[in-house]
Chains A and B, each alone.
Chain A
């Protein structure tokens, strides 16, 4: 069964600290993996997208890594800010259809305290 599992479910860190969010998936065949940031009451916004040939992708203070062999990805946030408080969603796309079906994780709820 194609699944995307994220950990931890929630995380609280102090402003300025770094953190790493995890994503494990069983989606096959694999096309690409995305990380989205979803602020409370808003729609998700794309942070990074990686294909199987890419093992790291950065977007400002966000760095995503991908290990297609172990089917794991991580999102590292450096020097966290209060505005980083949000849900971070891992999404995996397969190659099984012309739509490129997306499988969503439940997200990690990150809270940054001052």
Chain B
């Protein structure tokens, strides 16, 4: 079982609210990621980080922002939530093992966000 935690598991909020989704890992992994996943669809990378003070945007454009002040913590923030942000958000961290590029990603349980 991976030591990566996401809170809250479920969140229902009104339009215009500011929210922060928390993600923490205790494995000391440098790389961390945020994915967005709609039901029956593939995961889309929205943010990633190579380490402290490193953040990059992923393939899917997102109005969310992230920060990486500590190795173990990678929160995602939405300044003004909208119904289009309704989705499942998955956080992951990874460590490289053996051959180059063969890093194993460990996922959190996800946060299911509903914006009314």
Interface residues of A (CB under 8 A from B): 4, 31-32, 41-46, 49, 51, 89, 93, 95, 99-102, 104-107, 109
Contact residue range for chain B? 20 to 34
- Which of B40, B99, B101, B105: most chain A Cβ within 10 A? B101
**Quick one: CB contact mask for B52-86 with A, threshold 8 Å, 1 for yes?**
00000001000000000000000000000000000
Binary contact track B72-116/A, C-beta < 8 Å → 1, others 0: 000000000000000000111000000111111111111010000
Closest to B105 in A: A46
**Given contact pairs A102-B45, A106-B41, A95 touches B104 in the complex (Cβ within 8 A):** no
Which residues of chain B have C-beta atoms less than 8 A from A95's C-beta?
A: 101
Say yes or no: B102 contacts A51, CB within 8 Å: yes
Q: Beyond A43-B107, A43-B109, A49-B104, is A107–B42 a contact (Cβ under 8 Å)?
A: yes
Asked if B19 CB lies within 8 Å of chain A CBs, one says: no
Given the known inter-chain contacts A32-B102, A49-B102, please indicate yes or no for A41 contacting B109, CB distance below 8 A: yes
Bound CA–CA A109/B110 (angstroms): 18
Task: Choose one: B41, B48, B90; the contact of A99 (CB below 8 Å).
Answer: B48
Q: Report whether A44 and B101 are in contact in the complex, using a CB–CB cutoff of 8 Å.
A: no
A-side contacts of B2, CB under 8 Å? 45
Could you list some 21 contacts between A and B, CB below 8 A?
A4-B42, A41-B109, A41-B112, A43-B4, A43-B6, A43-B91, A44-B43, A44-B90, A44-B107, A45-B107, A46-B104, A46-B105, A46-B106, A51-B99, A99-B48, A101-B59, A104-B42, A104-B44, A106-B41, A106-B42, A109-B40
Within 8 Å CB of A106, what residues of B?
A: 40-42
Closest to B92 in A: A43
Q: Find the B residue at minimum CB distance from A93.
A: B101
Name B90's closest neighbour in chain A (CB-CB).
A43
Closest chain B residue to A30, Cβ basis: B101
